[in-house]
Structure formats: structure tokens, C-alpha cells
Structure 1
Amino acid sequence: MISGPTDGAPAILRGRRGENTISLVDAEYVVIRHLTLDGGGEPVAGVVAEARGDGVHHVTLEHLTIRHYDHSQGNTGITTRVPARGWVIRHNEIHDVGTGMYLGQPDGTSPFVAGVIEHNHVHRTLGYNIQIKHQTDRDGIPGMPSQPYETRIRYNVLSKAERGSDGARARPNLLVGHFPPTGPGSEDRYRIAGNLFYQNPHERLFQGEGHIELHDNLFVNDAGDAMVIRPHNHVPRAVRIVNNTVLATGFGIRVDEPDRAYRQVVAGNAVFAGDPLQLSGGIAGDDNFTTSREDAVHYLLAPDAGLAALDLYPREGALPERAGSVSSAPVAGANRDYNGRLRERVVWGAYGGPPGPNPGRVDGIGPRVPGCAPCR
């Protein structure tokens, strides 16, 4: 365990040219916490599982502040360049970096497996807040599990409201690539739940492929599109997009060219967008509440407010309850809404709490970001 102080003046590790600030090579069972990493604008990264090793496993990064790794878009807060399994990345503040987290190699040969990314605030990134690269086969990689696993991305605030690159260098807030098409890992999936995806003037908020469970999230993009599931390095497979609240001036939910040998479900969502649903491959969209972005003010408490007062909780009696329910596959927390509260009502969107004012998030759920009303 490597730890700074839990209160008082922080322990600061300052970036220096030619060396990544925290370098991990063939490390296992390491906890790094309560540190501030300040890159000082140098062309280096914050935490790196280095490519010269064989793998870095069971690493926990928590309560870190990672900042000023913004010499270029290629400089990152957290990077894995070798096979990585069992990582936990939680309760971190990452800002003013080129890319917040870049997990895996560009060619898909260094899989990020069975990870948990939770309660982080990632913002003011030039490129992605988070990207998890696609994966080729895992044969021959020591220690890789044969049974299916989930990588969980939950209760994070991912914002590209400021500093994002435009044009050809624009990137989504979160992109997840596919798992191995065959063999070990081919039935792995992402579970993405309880996150706030906030603003992206130049790209979509979310892009993904492969096996994805996407539920109980808030998506807000006042300058474009919300989410797209589409082929990137492979194709969408088993996809469930349920119980999300989506606000976008462009399209809300788009699914392109999925593998119809698998099941795709888009249901239970409240979508307020210029074009709410674009679903190909015969995916049904009638079990969603859809209307224009402008109409959101009639159904939600404060959809047009800035982040400090934003409230996407349903107005009492305005957003009708649904005739049936859509439940996620059994896993801890799948029966809870964006606030982390047990769902009390069968209602469209990410909130399933009682009628009336927004009760807010339960203790321990999500980062408490100053000036962020949905974070409280």
C-alpha cells in the first residue's frame, strides 16, 4: 500500500520529463491512494502499467487527484499498456489531462478485464474522459480467467463541457470496445450504470460495441448527440439500454448494425431529443417515452438549468408510469435508480423514487462534486 495523508496538506508527486509519475511493471496486489499527481504540463502520464512488463493485476487506485497531464491529447491520467485484470479505480478526481483513462493497447492485445471504475469525477480532458480499448483473443496470456466477467463503470461524473478537442481529434466522453469475438472473454460484458454523462460540444457522450448493459444513467448534451452503439472494431452483440434519462439536441439513442444472433433491448428510457431513437436491425422502440428536447421542461423539474441547478427528476404526475417493468440481469445494484435508491415505481427513465422533490443520492454513491446538483 502506498498512501498519502487522508486530510491536511496533500502529498504531491510532480511530473518530470522522461518518466511517468507512477510506473507499474509486473506489479500485483498494490493499493495507491490519497496522493496528488501533478504533471505540470510535461509530456508524461500519471499512472502507467508499462508495456515492458507482462501484466499488472489487482491494482486499486483510489482517492487520487490527477491533474495537468495535458501537454497533448496523448498524455493520460491512467493508462494500461499490458494485460490488466482486477483493477479498481474509484473516488478519483482527474482533470486537465489529455485523456482521463486509456485502458488497453490500440491493437487490442492488452485486455482490461474484470475492472471496476466507480465514483470518479473526470473532466476538462482534451480527448476521452475514459476509453477502454477493444480486445483480440486472450489465448496465451497468463492468468486470464476462462469464465465470463463484467467490467463495471458506475456512479461516475464524466464531463467534456470544457477544453475538449474539436474536429478530427474530438472524442466521446466514454468509449468501450468489444471483448474477444471468440474464445475466453467472448461472453464478458460492460455494465454501465448510475453515471452522469455531461456535455460534449464536438462528439457523442457515449459510444460502445460488444456486450453492454447500460442502465439508470443521465445523459445531457445541449450541443449534439447522446449515445451510439455501433460497429467500431467489431459489432454490437447483446445490448440492453434500459431506464436512462436522455437529453440531447441531436439524436438520443442510436443502435447501428447489431449482430441479430444476440438480443438487443431498448426500453424504459425517457428520451428528450431532436431525434429520440434511431434503431436498426428490427429493434423495437415503442417501450420508451420519447418527445422533443424542448418538451423536457414539461416533464422534468429543471432540465434547462446549468449544472449547479440541473434536476432531471420527473415532475409529479407529468411523466406517466409504465405498464410493465424492465429489469436488468441479476447483479448487485441493478434494481437501484440513478440516486442509488431502490426503485419504488415503474416509471420511465433513470429515477424510480417517490413522487415529489428529488430525494438525492444515497450516502456513498457518486462523487460529491461542488456545483453539480445531480451529484448531491
Structure 2
Amino acid sequence: MKYLVLLISFVATPLSAATLSGNPGNYTTQIAALNPGDTLQLAAGTYTNRLVLNGLHGNSGAWITIEGPATSVATFNGVSGNNTVSLRDCSYIEIKNITVDCLGLAVDGIKAEGYTTTPHTVHDMLVENVRILNAGNNQQIVGINTKCPCWNWTIRGCEIIGAGTGMYLGNSNGDEPFIRGVIEGNRVYDPEGYCIEIKHQNNWPAGTPSGNGSTIIRNNVFIKTSRASGSGDRPNLLFGGFPDSGTGSNDLYEVYGNFISSNPRESLIQATGRFTIHDNILVDAPNAGFAGVYVTAHQGKTVKLARMYNNTIYACGRGIRVASGSTASHVVGNLVFSSDAISGTVTTQSDNITDTVANATNYVTSPSITLSGMNFFPLTGQCTGSAISMTAFNTDAHYDLDFNGNSKGSFIHRGAYSGNGTNPGWAISNTLKTGGPGSGPTLPPALAIIAPAAGSLPNASGASSYTVTFVASGGAGGFTWDIPAIDVPTGLALNTNTGVLSGMPAPGNYAFTVTVTDANTDTASENYTLAVSVVDPGGGSGGGGGGGCSAGTGSPWWLLMCGAGILSHIVRRRRAGLPHGAAPKT
């Protein structure tokens, strides 16, 4: 007998990622089977046993994705006494395209759970295109809530409607911080309390990021209503200060491109610590004691750096208010319509245009506090002046782009827009904002076939069944699949709805093109080859069963075990079950 001997002293990494299918009956089992790089594709339906992720980790090069369908709805319903999406000791996970319905229960929508004895963290997370409903049992019930140390989160394209509090990021004691997140392109409407609060931060715990960084809040829509606040009135957006010293003390909040509106009893933004606020549109905080932007110390944290420029502020009791004892470094290039436009101590205050609410019609297209009627794009020839020096701001993210994401050119404009006449960008409304400075959601990602990689598919044997699943992302969903009939490998058939190519292939070498088409009739294609070997009549009968392994959608891992100079065996294990072992040729 002849043997191929291979000595390897380590366990190899996955050769490919798997796409698993989940439905209301099996999804908890499928979650337990996920490995780095895998995707759990959820079917439409109602999931009544929550979404619980405990001890689940991808890695920086292979995130785990859990996503609902692009064109229908996968809804996770609340369960009394338990948070609807529960995260504990997790990292490098994407949660996308689901609806979370708390059913009016006293449970949060998505929560990074706190701890009492054993610390844990939840970091490197993407929460995208998630709709959170009926989380308004009381003001303490939260759409997205974090109670353990969290960092490198992106919350993008989510809608939270009617919650007690939209997002509450960081624990109230300041000891479990929310660090260096990106909150972009979301809509939070009609909360009882905050649209978003990011809590103040004490010294960061061990294991959190080092160096300096920013938390980005951009291109969001935060709208409150006249809804009563049972536990006290709250601003639309509040963020607290960073640690007083050490790691994180020089971090920055960067708030830009947002539309923030309608607070009858509080300010629109309350800001503490180190921050830059630019190119936002802030409308309707009529109480004379409150402001579009209120700069103040809070919960033991002071104002250390405050830059506010190129904002449009309308119908606020005070436009920009710097509280007694605090100092703003820059208030520059803003367009403010208020009877008390700018107040407090400001080191550099220049190039602002201020006037009364009644006179705003002389400057902008349609000033209003009614969503359907407002348009703050400048009239032709208005809201300009001499060029503003941007030297103090040129380290800020997208300091040179306006509310629409367009270049500010020579920096002659005042307020959040860099043009005049007809607005070329998003029309203000109670919808997700499209466009804007940075990477907020605009068009869906381009349609692409993402698995398997183009080129050679895993080899097949003419004596074994064969299955491979093609996977697409981006586009408008509703995918259909095609391989020209003349090119389909003999013995295989393509399911045009699922992208599964399967059957008993005939020996030969095949080349073919796979094309996916989405609901908008956009297409993407990749070229593949497949080699199908001839059955070897000399093998397959002894010691191992079927003489080979089918190639499938599972993620193959090679476990190579060596000890004391002896190669025990080589086992190819798939998550769906152990395949038959291949017998050595004699």
C-alpha cells in the first residue's frame, strides 16, 4: 500500500465561509453552529424566542453575519422579562435587515447586557437596517441599550419609533462606556425621553482601545413630539464628557449632517466634554430657557473643547447657548434665527448670520416648523460672506462638506448648505436621510456574487453527489439565478430561486458563468470552473465507506492531528455532520 504522509503541527483556519439558512423553527440551533466568516440567512416570518447571542465571536477578518431577507420581514417578538435581542460577550458580528417588536412589554429592543460579577464586553458590532417598534412601555425602555463596555459599534440605517428612549449608550454610572462608535443614517421618532444619550465616561476599563479616536454621529434624523415625558423632559441628543485623564481623555464627539427637530420642553442638543458640531439643521425648541445647542458641564464633566460651525438653527428659544462657567472655543459661520441667537462665553465668534424667526423668509426658501413645509436651502444671493478660515477645523471629519455632502468650495456660505437657489439634495422629511457628509446610507450596495469566490470550485467525483450554493449581496433583493443551459455541467441542475447547483455530475472539465438578477433587473456575474474526476475502480471499498466527500455549503475545517512523530489521521469535518472518510489507495 502507498500512503501520502503529511505532518502538520497546527490546526488550520477555515477554508471557506458557510451560509446557513434559518427559520423560526431552527434558528437557535443554527446560531450555535456559526463560526467566523459564516452567514445566517433568516427567512421571513415571526421569531418568538428572541435573538440571544452569548459568547459568539467572529474575528477582524471574518465577521459573523445574521441577516433577514432584503425584501420581506423577519420579526423578533418581545418576551416578557427578557430583552428581545440580547448580546453578551460578543464581537465581530453583523445584525442586519430585521424587525424587533417589543410588543409594548417592559423589555428593550437590542441590549448589550450588563453584568454583576463576571465582566464581559461587546465590541466590533454592526447593527444595520433594523426597525425597532413598540419599545415604549415607559421612558426607561430603550430601543438600543448598552450596559457593558462597548467599542467599535456601527449603528446604521435603523429606525426606532415610539420608544421610551431611542438609544442609551453607556451605563449610567460612567464605568461601562460606549467608545468610538459610528451612529449614522438612523431615524429616531417620537421617543418619550432622549432620541439618543451617550453617557459620560470615567476611566476606561482594561482591554478597551488605546490612543485617540472619535465617536461619529452623522446624517441622522432625530424628531421628538409633544409626547409627555413621565420621568422628566430630555433633549433629543445628549452626550457626556470623556475620562478626565488617561486613555480616552482626548477623544472627540463629531456631530454633523443631522436633522434634529421638535422639542417643546428641552434643548435639541446638550453637549459636554470635547466635541465638534457642524453642518446640522436644528429646528423648533421654542422654550425660552432652552436652545438648539446647549453647551454645559454635566455629571461632573466639564466642557474642554467646543467647536460649532456651519449649522442652520431655526425657531429655538436660544440658538447656541454656552452655560455660565463654560467656554466654547469656536462659534463660526452659523445661520441662526432666534431672538437670542448666541449667548455665553465664546473665544472665537465670527462670520455668523443671525436674525429673528420672522425675518428668516429673507434668507431661506421656506422656513417652517412643519415638516411638510420646511426648506432651509438659501435663496439666490443669500447666506454668503467673506471666506471663512477653516484652519481650526481641518482635522474634523468632513469639515469641508455641507449637509448634503457637497463641497463647501471657498467657504463663503453660512449655515448648513453650501449653495443657494434649488436644493439638490435630500428634502427634509420624517424619513431616513439619504446622502450627506460621510458614509450614511444612500443607494444600496452594488449587487455582487460574494460566494463562492470566482474561479475554480472544489473538485467533484463522478461517483458522488455535489452541491454548491451561490450567494449574492447588495442590490434590491429578490434574487434569481442563471447559468446558460448549454454550459450547465452534465448531471447538475441550478435552482434559479435559491442559487443551489446540485446533482450527480458526469466526469469532465466545465467552465460556466453564473449570473444573479435582482428585483430592479440589475445583474452581476462571475466565472467558474469545475473539474469532475473519473471514478477510480481501485478504491472506495475498504475501511471508509463512500470513498470521498461531497462539496457543500458547510464550512470545511481541516483537523490535522500529529503526535510523537506519528500522523494519526486526517479528518474532514463539516458542521452538517461527519462525511464518509476516504480509504487509502492500495
Q: Report the TM-score, using the length of structure 1 for normalisation.
A: 0.91
Asked if 2 retains the 8 angstrom alpha-carbon contact of 1:37 and 1:65, the reply is yes
- Specify the alignment match of 1:180 in structure 2: 243
Q: How does 1:327-346 map to 2 (within 5 A)?
A: 328-344=393-409, 345-346=411-412
- Contact 1:237/1:258 (8 A) holds in 2: no
Q: Which amino acid aligns with 2:259?
A: L
Report the equivalent of 1:165: 229
Conservation of the 8 A alpha-carbon contact between 2:276 and 2:396: no
Give the alignment of 1:19-58 within 5 angstroms: 19-52=82-115, 53-58=119-124
User: Offset of 1:308 from its aligned partner?
Assistant: 1.9
Q: Deviations over 1:166-193 (max 9, x none)?
A: 7x61100000000001111000010000
Partner amino acid for 2:120?
Answer: D
Q: Is the CA contact (8 Å cut-off) linking 1:325 and 1:346 kept in structure 2?
A: no
Amino acid at match of 1:312: F
- The residue number in structure 2 matching 1:295 is 359
Instruction: Summarize the alignment of residues 1-376 of structure 1 with structure 2, pairs less than 5 Å apart.
Output: 1-8=65-72, 10-52=73-115, 53-138=119-204, 141-165=205-229, 169-221=232-284, 223-224=286-287, 225-233=291-299, 234-257=301-324, 264-280=329-345, 282-304=346-368, 306-326=370-390, 328-344=393-409, 345-353=411-419, 355-361=420-426, 364-365=435-436
Q: Which AA in structure 1 matches 2:362?
A: H
Distance 1:51 1:324 in 2: 46
Partner of 2:8: none
> Aligned residues: percent identity?
38
Q: Cα 1:258–1:87, aligned 2, differ >3 Å: closer, same or farther?
A: farther
Match of 1:373 in 2: none
Cα distance in 1 for residues equivalent to 2:435 and 2:340: 35
2:549 is matched with: none
- Amino acid in the other structure paired with 1:253: I
CA distance in 1, matches of 2:182, 2:228: 25
Q: CA RMSD in A?
A: 1.9
Q: Which runs of 5+ in 2 are unaligned?
A: 1-64, 427-432, 443-586
Q: CA deviation at 1:249?
A: 3.7
Once the two structures are overlaid, the 10-residue window that deviates more, 325-334 or 122-131, is 325-334
User: Which amino acid in the other structure matches residue 161 of structure 2?
Assistant: H
- Note the residue ranges of structure 1 that are not aligned, 5 or more in a row: 369-376
User: Match of 2:242, as an amino acid?
Assistant: F
Count residues in correspondence: 360
Deviations 1:327-369 (A, max 9, x none): 623354221100111113511110013x32111149644578x
Give the CA deviation at 1:259: 5.9
Three-state SS of the structure 2 residue aligned to 1:297 is: helix
Once the two structures are superposed, residues 299-345 of structure 1 have per-residue CA deviations (whole angstroms, 9 ceiling, x without a partner) of 11001262123110111113232343336233542211001111135
**For the Cα contact (< 8 Å) 2:270–2:294, is it kept in 1?**
yes
SS at match of 2:308: strand
- Alignment deviations for residues 171-229 of structure 1 (CA, whole Å, 9 cap, x no partner): 00000000001111000010000000111011110001000010000000152331101
- The structure-2 alpha-carbon separation of the partners of 1:85 and 1:305, relative to structure 1 and needing over 3 Å to count, comes to closer
- The secondary structure found in structure 2 opposite 1:308 is helix
SS at match of 1:360: coil
| Stretch deviating more after TM superposition (169-178 or 48-57) | 48-57
How many Å separate the matches in 1 of 2:184 and 2:260? 13
Paired with 1:254 and 1:245, the residues of 2 have a C-alpha distance of 14
**For 1:157 and 1:149, how far apart are their aligned partners in 2?**
24
For 1:105 and 1:340, locate their aligned partners in 2 and report how far apart those are by CA, in whole Å: 33
C-alpha change, 1:311 and 1:321, in structure 2 (3 Å) is same
**How big is the shift at 1:255?**
1.2
Tell me, in whole angstroms, the C-alpha distance in 2 between the residues paired with 1:174 and 1:305.
18
C-alpha spacing 1:258/1:149, structure 2 compared with 1 (3 Å): farther
Distance in 2, matches of 1:221 and 1:271, equals: 12
Shift of 1:258: 5.7
Conserved? CA contact 2:285–2:292, under 8 Å: no
Separation of aligned partners in 1, 2:265 and 2:369: 21
C-alpha distance in 2 between matches for 1:206 and 1:121 = 16
Distance in 2 separating the partners of 1:340 and 1:318 = 20
- SS of 1:69's partner is coil
SS of 1:285's partner is: strand
- Displacement of 1:48 after TM fit? 0.5
Contact 2:124 2:152 in 1 (8 A): yes
